Chain A
Amino acid sequence: MSGEQPVSCKHANDLLFAYLEGELGAEEARALDAHFRRCPPCEEFLNSYRKTAGLCRNALQRDVPSEVVERVKDFLRKKVGSEKP
């Protein structure tokens, strides 16, 4: 907990999104910084929340079969032919 304005776990985590987006005022952000430094479960929660998007992004990468691109191009040629956009 921070010295002057201690915040609870609930308060800190309710503001987690705004905190990471940089939407909080300086004083509130400092109070949350202090809470995360002193509360290991909340710090771990913050770290794992931060890491989630990157892990998911990597997990969802897939090579697309080349036929997909060819089908799109064939479709476009049939639909638009020599028509100008």
Chain B
Amino acid sequence: MSDEADQRLAEDRALLARAQKGELAAFEKLVERYTQRVYNLALRMTSSAQDAQEIVQDAFLSAYQNLGAFRGDAAFGSWVHRIAANFALMRLRHRKVVSEAEGELKGELEYGDDGALLTFPLSQFGKRADDQALDHELRQAIEGAVAKLPEAYRAVFLLKDVEGLSYEEIAEATRETVPAVKSRLHRARLTLRQAIDEFYAEKKP
């Protein structure tokens, strides 16, 4: 872990210790530190700014009310992300829009009888330098592709590849098994890889 990350964790622990003694101002510092990421997660999961705002509020309130039970064996950031993911998933279930359909999943490969690849990557974006890659249009294409993922797949992708939670943490938040989480992550990545591939292929002169 980098020195910067270590220092951040140490600061979080110090703020937590003060918050656990009842100092709301210390907890508010944690709110300032983590609201941006938690809000973005909630916004991507629900596609609603109002829901995202309420989820962040509920998540921090729940974290505050459960500070006594927080043992500090996980990072505060991961913990509050998990709480927010839970609230977002509950909201989606309530909306009855959680879909297990895999209609929006793409990116599976096709093979011949001999197991040789029949679908070739279109654009070779794997060879491009990272710093050339992200322009406004690509950003929009990625946002669109992420928004189209079925909710359960989107949640796993956001929690793992964007927020960096562990498989175990995600399994707990989503009430899935670790193998199911991994399988969903892989399908989500395949779908997003294809969306990026198609974007570059269409853009090519």
Cross-chain contact B120 with A41 (CB below 8 angstroms): yes
- A59 in complex: contacting residue of B24, B57, B142, B157, CB < 8 Å: B142
Alpha-carbon distance between A17 and B197 when the two chains are bound, in angstroms: 19
Cross-chain contact B61 with A76 (CB below 8 angstroms): yes
- Does B44 have its Cβ within 8 Å of any Cβ on chain A? yes
Q: Which residue of B lies closest to A45 (CB)?
A: B121
Cross-chain contact A8 with B20 (CB below 8 angstroms): no
- Does B15 have its Cβ within 8 Å of any Cβ on chain A? no
Cross-chain contact A64 with B126 (CB below 8 angstroms): no
- Does A29 have its Cβ within 8 Å of any Cβ on chain B? no
Cross-chain contact A59 with B138 (CB below 8 angstroms): yes
Cross-chain contact B115 with A50 (CB below 8 angstroms): no
Point out the residues of chain A lying under 8 angstroms from B65, CB to CB. 80, 85
Query: Taking A9-B116, A55-B196, A60-B44 as contacts, is the C-beta distance between A72 and B20 under 8 angstroms?
Result: no
Alpha-carbon distance between A68 and B43 when the two chains are bound, in angstroms: 12
Give 1 or 0 for each of A9-42: 1 = CB within 8 Å of chain B CB. 1110100110001000000000000000001011
Point out the residues of chain B lying under 8 angstroms from A82, CB to CB. 24
- Does B22 have its Cβ within 8 Å of any Cβ on chain A? yes
Cross-chain contact B142 with A69 (CB below 8 angstroms): no
Q: Which of B159-189 contact A (CB under 8 A)?
A: 161-162, 182, 185-186, 189
Point out the residues of chain B lying under 8 angstroms from A8, CB to CB. 111, 114-116
Interface size on B (CB < 8 Å)?
58
Point out the residues of chain A lying under 8 angstroms from B60, CB to CB. 72, 75-76
Cross-chain contact A59 with B39 (CB below 8 angstroms): no
Cross-chain contact B39 with A68 (CB below 8 angstroms): yes
Point out the residues of chain A lying under 8 angstroms from B138, CB to CB. 55, 59
Point out the residues of chain B lying under 8 angstroms from A57, CB to CB. 161-162
The stretch of B2-10, B27-35, B90-98 in contact with A is B27-35
Q: Determine how close the nearest CB of chain A comes to the CB of B46; give it in whole angstroms.
A: 14
Instruction: Indicate the member of A39, A49, A79 with the most B CB atoms within 10 Å.
Output: A49
Query: Taking A51-B125, A52-B189, A60-B162 as contacts, is the C-beta distance between A42 and B39 under 8 angstroms?
Result: no
Alpha-carbon distance between A52 and B193 when the two chains are bound, in angstroms: 6
What are 28 residue pairs bridging A and B, where the CB atoms are less than 8 Å apart in the complex? A9-B115, A10-B115, A10-B117, A13-B117, A16-B186, A17-B186, A41-B120, A44-B124, A46-B126, A47-B127, A55-B130, A56-B161, A58-B134, A59-B139, A60-B143, A60-B158, A61-B40, A62-B40, A64-B40, A68-B35, A69-B35, A72-B53, A76-B31, A76-B60, A82-B24, A85-B22, A85-B65, A85-B68
